[in-house]
Amino acid sequence: MSDPSLKVIALISGGKDSFFSLLHCLHHGHQVIALANLYPALSASKENVGAGTTQGQADANEEHDLNSFMYQTVGHTVIPLYEQALGIPLYRQPIVGTAVQSGASYHHVASVEEDETESLVPLLKRILQDHPTANAVSTGAILSTYQRTRVESAALRLGLTPLGFLWKYPILPPGTQASLLEDMQAVSLDARIIKVASGGLDDSFLWNNVASLSDRMRIERAIKRFGSDGDGAVLGEGGEFETLVIDGPPSLFKGRIEISDDNRVIVREGGGAAWLQISEAKVIMKDRVDSSATIPRIPDLLDSKFRTILESLDGGHESIDTHSGSSGENPKKPMSRVDPDILYWTVSPNQSTTVLSVSDQTSDVVLQVQRLLEQNNLTAISITCTTILLRSMNDFATINQVYSKLFSAPNPPSRVTISVGDLLPKDTDLIIHLQIASSSSPATPRKALHVQSRSYWAPANIGPYSQAISIPLSQDNDCPQRAVSIAGQIPLIPGTMLLPSPIENPIQDFALQTTLSLQNLQRVGLEIDVQYFTSAIAYIPISTPLPHNLLPQIPAKAWSLLHQAPSDSDSDDETAQEVDLWESKHYSGLAHHGAISSERLLPDFSILSSLSSSNTIPPLFIAMVEELPRQAGIEWHAHTGISGGTVTFHSTIQRAGFVIYQCSFSGRLRGIVSVFLPQGGVMVDEKVGEAMRELGFERGEKEAYTSYYDMSVTGGREGKKLEGVIPCSRLWDGEGRRLGAVLMFDTLMDGN
């Protein structure tokens, strides 16, 4: 399936990133129909520069650098020339207001109308009046959550799809900051430094081309001397420098901008900052314009690690032992009480004498949730994760529209959505399971990851759910620990938000979808600092054409390979850098060639305690359900991600008819009981109760906060209320064994 073409409004600041992002829009077949720019108002007597402007340089004494948190303003007098240089209509609007909201996330309310972010809204509205078919906005945000969330807020309010193709670009293969500048050089982008703000750079760097090899190496060396390499310094993400693009590939730039030496004056400010005041500029049209498209480098779909995983999955799917453990050790005995800081609710529509529509059922569920929150003195921000069970995935859009009314603030909870078909009770079209953090310290507040821009990083979440929510588990300032809830991940290609094109071989197709969705899970986890997962489940639709005996093997092997500890001899030749002799001699101890200095790992084996058993692959389960979003072939859901502190995986306990897995963290014990299919007339519920009593829970399965049941098993959950239950058509463990049930519980450990 091809990526549908979008009609894009390109936000430009004059800087390198906005133009390089524009090139990626064109590469994807999108049409850039307008340029948009916000600039500092020069004086009350100056009229706003509108569409069709091809000149508008201010007098030298009126050019100034307005320090805006949101917008680049230095060099703004050159911006009107881009309309002529690119042959695309330009719209401009003065910046009004200041940074009223200073947080990374942005929440539009009436009280922030004076925030400078809101200057973008009337500009976009004006463009939409002239170009009503516009349906997307592109931005050059690379690492700035502050900038990205504000553009997303304005765009989505106007029904525009945010495009941020450079988001997290430096961490994608090959994983160096300098790769972005190298890619800009490859497409002949000419981006001159027009402002420096210390960071090792002085005014001698002004008018250097950051996309040229010699100037780029000089910038890298200067920044390393200053000791600020990493975190985007080489790219100017920390304000080290700002750029002005004066030329680019002929397919985009029909003319180049010329600014003579006499028309550039250095203005020096305190703290080592300096910028160029430009008095006059002009466009020199090119005699010959090459109409062939310039192709920017597109990051590989899979990282090297996941390419290796995919190759292993294609090479064979033999059964693997992922959960070997002791059968003689007694499990740890928790206190028979649940964690008071975490609540679990199941909400379903109230029964009615008449059959309610899907919309009415969802409204009833939403109302019930709102009442429960109010009764417990909580708000919707307390919800960290939801699991939505649908009868039919065709109802998803209707349910989503009503469900979204629960959340008015930014960063709604993460979410998993699956269809279980007729396994839901009669006349019930949806059930929602909720996880709620009932308390949180102001010193260690809730964190969220909600990226709604389309990029090459991971699938965008345009809707009422975040990629991840992180909550504190401990108040230990020296070693704080957090629990992370991550949204279910399906195999969408991030840049297009489409599933991969079907492969004729169904095994290869399923292997690719398995690998891509697992990479999406890992990238989201890494971004919110997850170091280890406690367990996971892979949902598979019942329509999957593969034989059932093969289905669990592919995700189980991928999961095992993801958690394979690297050996000392492992190396990634593709990320090897050219050795610079000057760097090796003078700065051998610093991060090399613009690499991100503090690499995060997932899994990060350093988080495991010395008490962990030899087998530290988190338990994995595979569940067959009716259908998944977008008709995906698999959906990965990691139950909990752990950040900080230590995690202990205890030895697996196997008894007749069931297995117990346990891991502990931050004074909590996570236990999982998997019950095999009944044999000799022994019922699933009987084995569930036996396992829970062995763990010290006299009340049996009621302590479980989530459970998965194979509803085809006689004596299972048929006819019972689905309190915390996810009904499945089939259920396997990571070793491919058929299960009747899986139960999960969290408790406080003895002495806590």
CB 119 within 8 A of CB 153: no
Amino acid at 415: R
> How many CB atoms are located within 10 Å of the residue 428 CB?
15
The mean pLDDT value for 728-749 works out to 90
**d(Cα 595, Cα 27) in Å, to the nearest integer?**
27
**d(Cα 217, Cα 241) in Å, to the nearest integer?**
15
pLDDT of residue 590: 32
Q: Which residues pair with 482 in a beta bridge?
A: 472, 643
Phi-psi category of residue 200: left, alpha or beta, with phi > 0 → left and psi -120 to 50 → alpha: left
Q: Which residues pair with 91 in a beta bridge?
A: 36
CB 224 within 8 A of CB 199: no
CA contacts within 13 A on the Cβ side of 296: 31
Instruction: Tell me the percentage of the chain whose pLDDT exceeds 90.
Output: 56
270 vs 512, residue with greater confidence: 512
**d(Cα 394, Cα 374) in Å, to the nearest integer?**
32
pLDDT of residue 99: 57
Please give the angle made by the CA atoms of 408, 410 and 413, to the nearest 5 degrees. Answer: 90
Angle between helices 304-315 and 553-562 (to 10 degrees): 140
Q: What is the dihedral of CA 361, 366, 369, 375, to 10 degrees?
A: -110
The mean pLDDT value for 113-140 works out to 90
**d(Cα 126, Cα 116) in Å, to the nearest integer?**
17
Classified as helix, coil or strand, 727 is strand
Classified as helix, coil or strand, 37 is strand
> How many CB atoms are located within 10 Å of the residue 186 CB?
14
**d(Cα 21, Cα 18) in Å, to the nearest integer?**
5
Residues 6+ apart with CB under 8 A from 362: 349, 398, 399, 402, 403, 430
Residues 6+ apart with CB under 8 A from 478: none
Amino acid at 650: H
pLDDT of residue 701: 47
Q: Three-state SS across 443-507?
A: CCCCEEECCCCECCCCCCCCCCCCCEEEEECCCCCCCCCEEEEECCECCCECCCCECCCCCCCHH
**d(Cα 244, Cα 81) in Å, to the nearest integer?**
12
Report whether the peptide linkage leading into residue 340 is cis, meaning its omega lies within 30 degrees of zero: no
Residues 6+ apart with CB under 8 A from 493: 301, 499, 500, 516
The overall average pLDDT reported for the chain is: 83
Q: Read off the tokens for 696.
A: 């010290």
Rounded to the nearest 5°, which phi and psi values hold at 222? -65, -40
First-to-final CA distance of the chain: 54
Helix (H) or strand (E) holding 147: helix 145-157
DSSP state of 582: H
- Which of these, 670, 662, 663, 707, lies nearest to 687 by C-alpha position? 707
Thinking of the domain 7-284, which architecture would CATH place it in? 3-Layer(aba) Sandwich (3.40)
| Among the ranges given (200-209, 371-380, 483-492, 561-570), the one the predictor scored with the smallest mean pLDDT | 561-570
pLDDT digit string (tens) for 203-252? 999 999 998 999 999 988 888 777 555 567 888 887 889 999 999 999 89
**d(Cα 618, Cα 640) in Å, to the nearest integer?**
11
Classified as helix, coil or strand, 525 is helix
The mean pLDDT value for 349-359 works out to 87
User: Strand 635-638 to strand 536-541: parallel, antiparallel, or no bridges (unpaired)?
Assistant: antiparallel
pLDDT of residue 104: 62
Amino acid at 601: L
The mean pLDDT value for 311-325 works out to 59
Q: In b/e form, how buried is each residue of 195-223, taking b as 16+ CB within 10 angstroms? A: bbbebbbebebbbbbbbbeebbbbbbbbb
Angle between helices 178-186 and 213-226 (to 10 degrees): 170
Find which of 188-197, 516-525, 571-580, 711-720 is predicted with most confidence, using mean pLDDT. Answer: 516-525
Q: Is the pLDDT of residue 649 over 90?
A: yes
The mean pLDDT value for 388-407 works out to 96
DSSP secondary structure string for all residues of 677-688: PP-TT--HHHHH
CA contacts within 13 A on the Cβ side of 619: 25
Rounded to the nearest 5°, which phi and psi values hold at 213? -60, -50
Angle between helices 553-562 and 506-527 (to 10 degrees): 40
pLDDT of residue 144: 84
Report whether the peptide linkage leading into residue 603 is cis, meaning its omega lies within 30 degrees of zero: yes
Amino acid at 588: S
- Which of these, 484, 471, 480, lies nearest to 440 by C-alpha position? 471
Q: In b/e form, how buried is each residue of 501-526, taking b as 16+ CB within 10 angstroms? A: eeeeeebebbbbbbbbbbbbbbbbbb
Q: Is the pLDDT of residue 325 over 90?
A: no
257 pLDDT band (50/70/90 cuts)?
very high
Q: How far is CA 336 from CA 640, 659, 701, 741, 747, in A?
A: 21, 20, 12, 21, 7
The mean pLDDT value for 670-694 works out to 77
> How many CB atoms are located within 10 Å of the residue 300 CB?
14
The mean pLDDT value for 561-578 works out to 60
Q: Read off the tokens for 133.
A: 């078919």
Classified as helix, coil or strand, 78 is helix
| Among the ranges given (110-124, 337-351, 505-519), the one the predictor scored with the smallest mean pLDDT | 110-124
Question: Where in the sequence of the chain do the CATH 3.40.50.620 domains occur?
Answer: 7-284
DSSP state of 32: E
**d(Cα 481, Cα 532) in Å, to the nearest integer?**
12
Report whether the peptide linkage leading into residue 494 is cis, meaning its omega lies within 30 degrees of zero: no
**d(Cα 53, Cα 60) in Å, to the nearest integer?**
19
Number of H helices, E strands in the chain: 13, 30
Q: Is the pLDDT of residue 578 over 60?
A: no
> How many CB atoms are located within 10 Å of the residue 327 CB?
10
Q: Is the pLDDT of residue 539 over 60?
A: yes
| Among the ranges given (139-153, 345-359, 495-509, 737-751), the one the predictor scored with the smallest mean pLDDT | 737-751
11 vs 684, residue with greater confidence: 11
Amino acid at 401: Q
pLDDT digit string (tens) for 34-50? 999 988 875 433 444 34
pLDDT digit string (tens) for 452-472? 999 999 999 988 999 999 999
| Among the ranges given (283-292, 428-437, 743-752), the one the predictor scored with the smallest mean pLDDT | 743-752
Q: Is the pLDDT of residue 55 over 70?
A: no
Residue 405, class by beta-carbon neighbours within 10 Å (0-12 exposed, 13-18 middle, 19+ buried)? middle
CB 30 within 8 A of CB 7: yes
Classified as helix, coil or strand, 587 is coil
608 vs 40, residue with greater confidence: 608
Q: Which residues pair with 647 in a beta bridge?
A: 608
Rounded to the nearest 5°, which phi and psi values hold at 714? -65, 135
Q: Read off the tokens for 586.
A: 């003078």
- Put the strands of the sheet holding 190-197 in their side by side order: 241-247, 190-197, 273-278, 264-268
pLDDT of residue 720: 58
What pTM was computed for the model? 0.90
